[in-house]
Every structure is written in structure tokens, then in C-alpha cells.
Amino acid sequence: MRIETAKFLERLEWLFAFFVLQLASGSLIRNVFLNNVQDRTAGLATDHPIMQAIWLCIYVISVSLVLARPRELIVVLQREKLLLLLVGLALFSYYWSALPAITIRRAFALVGTTFFGIYLVTRYNSSQILKLFVWTLSIGAILSPIVSLGFPSIGISPEGGWQGFYMHKNLMGRLMGLNAIFLLLLIPSTNSKKHRRFMWAGVILCSLLVFLSTSKGALVTFFALLILYYLYKSLQWRYTVAIPFFIIAVLIGAVLALLIIGNLETIVVDILGKDLTFTGRTILWEYVLQMIQQRPILGYGYQGFWRGLDGPSAFVLDAVNWAVPHAHNGFLDLTLNLGIVGLSIFILSFLMSTIRALRWLRLTKKVEDLWPLLSLSATLLYNVAESTLLERNHILWILYVVTVFARPASYKQSVKPRYSKPVTTLAR
């Protein structure tokens, strides 16, 4: 009886994690709760009372589940203090925020979102976490063609790109590209030929959805991650093979960089269909930098800048004549929110996490253990033209938190002996 109850609770916990990731992925499930599937903008309204109530319940459950495993929590929190400092800075930015009422509310949401990521690390091992993300995004991949073909008014954007099960074509393109890479990581460790075939089918479907989204940014990022996948994979080889491979890769990369720079206008304008200002982003960034210079140290407070014509963002909106929701660059938005101090903390955290991910790679020799390094790379690439850093209730911020705190079983962590007990995991 106890075993059956334990299994039921394990499954219930897994369904909870799956549901939260699905909600955080920006899927149409948000609109279902708002009883408004037709209007995609309804699901974007994270400040809607119904969505706030749902997320509040998620935060409470996440904190409760984390506190139920105090030993695991202490071990996990010891691994990365800079990220905790950054989230704490966002919370305390209420005291200097240009919009304190918004800052305190959204900062608590950020803390709750971060706690959910920490919960995943205390509950599951690194391999299980990867599979949980794959399950979440694969369901979205399966449903996207159904929505786009069966309900084109919902699944296809006005520009003609597929949005599928998600609220924006760019979002679908980015997530499907990421899932294709994650599936590639799992294939070598899958023993069943049948399961491998399903995974290859998933890779093909996700790759196709990236193209059908018509999101040029998602397509470029997908190809970049695909190249990085093979480069990082070479790091697991013996040095006698890896070093020559890297030298050749650097030489090829240098040649490609020269070709791209020499033909930048043709590539950007004719092939990608953009202008050399990247659809006005560089002009936007100029005005954003001007506003950063006014409050460079601590910024305008978490989520305290972008408030249309009612906040500090009014200057930027008037200058670009465009209803800008964010800086279209995660690092600029982070600097607007928390200044150079916040940006510096994040950069240090990112660099240290990258070093750990490289060490992880050399320790394990398993292909699926490339995912922390690829997740960090995805974070870097996505935030060149979008903003997901410290984004509350967002799957990519949850992924970053998990990446920073997670460790493989073989990774030696220097903690006190009384907390060295292995983390309880859900076998799948």
C-alpha cells in the first residue's frame, strides 16, 4: 500500500512539474485557463488575476516541496551563490525602483519562478531534468502541426509563419530548435531502437517547425546550436583527436566569419529579409544605452523601466516611434533593471557556470551531459535579440536556473559530510 501511494505521489509530482513547464513555455494552455483561445494576446497577459492566482499556487507548492527536502536544498544552494545574490538584488531593487509597486510584485514572482527551478534540481537528477524538458517541448511539437493545420486562425501568424501551440512564431521557433538539440543528446543513450526512431522523428519534426515558423532569429540560433553541439561533443574526445579537430574548426570558423563580414548586406537584406539595423533594434539600443547612462549603477529597479508612456521608457518610445515592450536584448534589459552591478553579477555567474559545465563534460563522457553547456550557449544566443534573463514565469529562465544548480552524479561537490546523502530522484 505504501509503495503504491509513493508511486502515485511521484507521478503526481512529475505531472506538476510538467504542467508548470508547459505553462511557462508560453503555450496556448494559458489561454485555456483564461477561456480565450482565439485571442493570443490574452495569454500574454501574465498580470491577469487568473494567471496570478495560478502562479501563486505554483510558488507555494514549489516552496513547500523544496522545504520538504532540507538536506538536498542546502546542498543545492551551496553550489551557486551568485545567482541567489542576483535574484536577491532584484527583490531589494524595490527601494530604488522607478516603479516600486510593479517591482515588488514581479520580483516576488521571479523568486517563486527561481524556487521552482531549484525544486527541480532537489527532486530530479540531471538526466531526468533533461527528459522532463524534452517531454514538455515534444508535446508542444506534436500539437503545433495540429493547431496550425486544423485551426489556421490560431496556429498561423498574420505574417504567415507557424505559431502552432505557442503564442508567437519566434517563441515556437526558439523552443523547437532547442528541443531538437536536446533530443539529439538523448539518442546515443537510448537502448531501444523503437525509441531512437521516435526521437529521430522528433528531431525532424522540431527542425521542420523551426523553418515553418519563418523566424530568422530562431533559424540562425538553431544552426549555431547545431554547430556548437558537434564542437562541444569533440571536447569529450581524447586530446590527440580533439585538438586537431578544434584547430580545423577555428580555421573554418575564421573563413566563414570573413565571408559573412564581406557579404553582410547580402546575407542580412537578401537572405534573411532584414535591414542592417536588424529591424530597428540597433537604433533602439542606442536610446536604451542613453537611458542606462542616467542610472548606470543600480538601474531602474526590476521591471521598473518598461511601462509605456507612463514610465521611464517614454523617452525611448517617443524616440523610436514604436511600442517597444523591452530592449530586444537581455543584457541591456538586465542593465536597465539592475545596473552594472546586476550585469556584473550575472556575467560572473555565467562564466563560473560555463567553467563547471566544461568540467562536467570532461568528467562524465556522456553525450547527454552536453546539455548544460548547450543550455548556457542558448541563453547567450537568445538574449542577443530577445529578453529572457530574470524573466518571471518563463521556461528559459527556469532552464537557466536548473543549468546553474544541477550536477551529474559523478561531479564531486565539496560539502559537509552530513549533507552528502544523494538526492532522492524519480527513476524513469
Judge if pTM exceeds 0.75.
yes
Tens digits of per-residue pLDDT, 50-89?
Answer: 888 899 999 999 999 999 888 989 988 888 899 999 999 9
**Interatomic CA distance for residues 295 and 298, integer angstroms:** 7
**Interatomic CA distance for residues 419 and 399, integer angstroms:** 25
Among positive and negative, which fits the CA dihedral 412, 414, 417, 423?
negative
| Residues paired with residue 309 on neighbouring β-strands, in sequence order | 307
pLDDT of residue 2: 72
pLDDT of residue 324: 80
Q: Tell me the HSE value of 270 on the side-chain side, using a 13 A CA sphere.
A: 5
**Interatomic CA distance for residues 294 and 323, integer angstroms:** 22
- DSSP code for 423: P
Among positive and negative, which fits the CA dihedral 52, 56, 57, 61?
positive
**Interatomic CA distance for residues 118 and 73, integer angstroms:** 8
Query: How many separate helices (H) and strands (E) can be counted in the chain?
Result: 19, 0
Q: Looking at this protein, which amino acid is placed at residue 168?
A: H
| Residues paired with residue 162 on neighbouring β-strands, in sequence order | 156
Conformational region of residue 424, where left means phi above 0, alpha means psi within -120 to 50, and beta covers everything else: beta
Q: What is the pLDDT along the chain (428 residues), one digit of tens a residue?
A: 677 777 888 889 999 999 999 999 988 776 666 655 444 444 445 567 888 889 999 999 999 999 988 898 998 888 889 999 999 999 999 999 988 999 999 999 999 999 999 999 999 988 899 999 999 999 999 999 999 999 888 888 888 888 889 988 889 999 999 999 999 999 988 888 888 999 999 999 999 999 999 888 888 889 889 988 888 887 766 655 555 555 555 555 555 554 454 444 444 444 445 544 455 677 888 888 988 999 999 999 999 888 877 778 888 888 877 778 888 889 999 999 999 999 999 999 999 998 888 888 777 777 778 889 899 999 998 998 888 899 999 999 999 999 999 887 555 443 343 334 444 444 33
pLDDT of residue 285: 86
pLDDT of residue 369: 81
* Residues in Cβ contact with 282 at an 8 Å cutoff, skipping those fewer than 6 apart: 276
CB burial of 147-175 (b: ≥16 within 10 Å; e: otherwise) equals: bbeeeeebbbbeeebbbbbbbbbbbbbbb
**Residue (of 362, 66, 80, 413) closest to 233 by Cα position:** 362
